[in-house]
Amino acid sequence: MTLLLAPMEGLLDHTLRDILTRVGGIDRCVSEFIRISGTLLPERAFLRVVPELRNGGRTRSGVPVRAQLLGSDPVCLAENAARLAALGPHGIDLNFGCPAKVVNRHGGGAMLLDDPEKVAAIVAAVRRAVPRDMPVSAKMRLGNESDARAVECALAMAGAGADELVVHARTKAQAYRPPAYWERVADIRAAVSIPVVANGEIWNVADALRCRELSGCHALMLGRGMVSDPGLALAIVAASRSQPAGLPADGVPASTSSTAIGWADLHPLVAAFWELVQARQDLAERHRPGRLKQWLNQLRRCHPQAESLYEELRVISDPKRITEHLGEAGRSTRHVSAFAESRQSPIPGCHRVA
């Protein structure tokens, strides 16, 4: 099984990519989108979003990163893709799935799925602009307001030269509300002759195995599930090796035993994340504590200790006090607090770790 780390604007940026790929299990990352709007961007604009380009296009732990572009002008996208390609990413991805209103208002993201011909023009222009040996992929939703043209859009992308499709199994109108319609990804997979990656609503091992079964995809993309449980990819890899034939008749995996990391191993990564955030020159000091709290807020879905730490840090804005507090919390990670012991995982199937 191949596992990709999703782009998540405002959350899963290069700093968190660095930390999550240190854990293991992720085969490739896709960057958050670089917005293309009428101008040829300077190299520094690409490097700001994808600083891994300075490291051979890989995270510090060696995981390749594919850079994502978002826009609606085929010519402008192609020109920027050519400049980006010269910087050495491990491929270029095109965003046809962003549901943000500000993006859609300007004709980008999921809105483009109402116009398969324009989607094809964009993919074809970018494909012509970059070296043949550089992969060009696309990330799409099932549609804008409905999924009626999902297969048509996928065929347009594949026919225009896309090497791979990632399909978020919801429309823009469905946003991030469960469920994800993985069986519709199977329809797309049956229609195209290029690899298809399933994405959406994969929170735990059981979700991953069910998604693989219903979509027929060997490759999955993880987003919020990986942010809230950094050991998820490792757990899925382990489970997939023990579940090679898919799900039993009742649809419940025979085993979803977890190899997810525990809090004692995760806490040093939280501290390392904070160090990286503090070192960022592009992030104002007053905004840095918010980045740490944002991740802790996600982590508390699966880690009770993260919820305890989040509550303790929530009202602290002084970076020095946060650093001191993280150090104190790190020295006590071997002891689970009474608060943590009283908690149960709020998401069904979430890995229970000590």
Model pLDDT, residue 250: 41
Residue 354, domain member (yes or no):
no
| Segment holding 108, helix H or strand E | none
For residue 99, is the peptide bond before it cis, meaning its omega torsion is within 30 degrees of 0?
Answer: no
Residue 211 sits in the same domain as residue 315: no
Q: Is 348 inside a domain boundary?
A: no
Which of 242, 272, 303 is where one domain is finished? 242
Same domain, 237 and 309: no
Q: What percent of the chain has pLDDT over 90?
A: 81
Whether residue 133 is contained in a domain is answered as: yes
Compute the distance between CA of residue 43 and CA of residue 222 in angstroms, rounded to an integer: 28
Q: At residue 207, does pLDDT exceed 80?
A: yes
Residue 351 inside a domain? The answer is: no
Closest Cα to residue 296, out of 283, 287, 280, 309?
309
Domain edge (last residue) among 208, 242, 276: 242
b/e per residue 289-305 (b: at least 16 CB within 10 A) = bebbbebbbbbbbbbbb
pLDDT in tens, 247-295: 443 444 434 444 468 999 999 999 999 999 999 999 999 999 999 999 9
Check whether residue 89 and residue 155 sit in a common domain: yes
Residues 181 and 327 in one domain: no
Given a cut of 50, is residue 336 above it in pLDDT? no
- Check whether residue 290 and residue 164 sit in a common domain: no
For the cut 70, the answer to whether the pLDDT of residue 350 exceeds it is no
> Which element (helix H / strand E) includes 136?
strand 136-143
Q: State the total domains in the chain.
A: 2
State whether 235 and 313 are in the same domain. no
Does 152 fall in a domain?
yes
97 and 197, same structural domain? yes
Single out the residue of 194, 56, 187, 38 nearest to residue 127, CA to CA. Answer: 194
Instruction: Assign residue 330 the CATH number of its domain.
Output: 1.20.225
Asked if residue 311 and residue 221 are part of one domain, the reply reads no
Are 173 and 271 in a shared domain? no
Tell me: do 136 and 270 sit in the same domain: no
If asked whether residues 223 and 297 sit together in one domain, one would say no
pLDDT band for position 117 (50/70/90)? Answer: very high
Q: What is the DSSP string of 222-241?
A: ESHHHHH-TTHHHHHHHHHH
Same domain, 237 and 274: no
Q: What is the mean pLDDT of residues 108-134?
A: 95
Q: Please tell me which residue, 242 or 338, carries the higher pLDDT value.
A: 242
CATH number at residue 219: 3.20.20.70
pLDDT of residue 110: 87
**Within a domain: residue 347?**
no
Provide DSSP, 187-211: HHHHH-SS-EEEES---SHHHHHHH
Please give the model's pTM, rounded to 2 decimal places.
0.89
Tens of pLDDT, residues 53-111 = 999 999 999 999 999 999 999 999 999 999 999 999 999 999 998 776 656 555 678 89
pLDDT of residue 338: 35
Residue 253 falls within a domain, yes or no? no
Domain that holds residue 32: 2-242
- Assigned domain for 333 exists: yes
**How far apart (Å, rounded) are the C-alpha atoms in residues 12 and 30?**
10
Catalytic residue IDs: 98
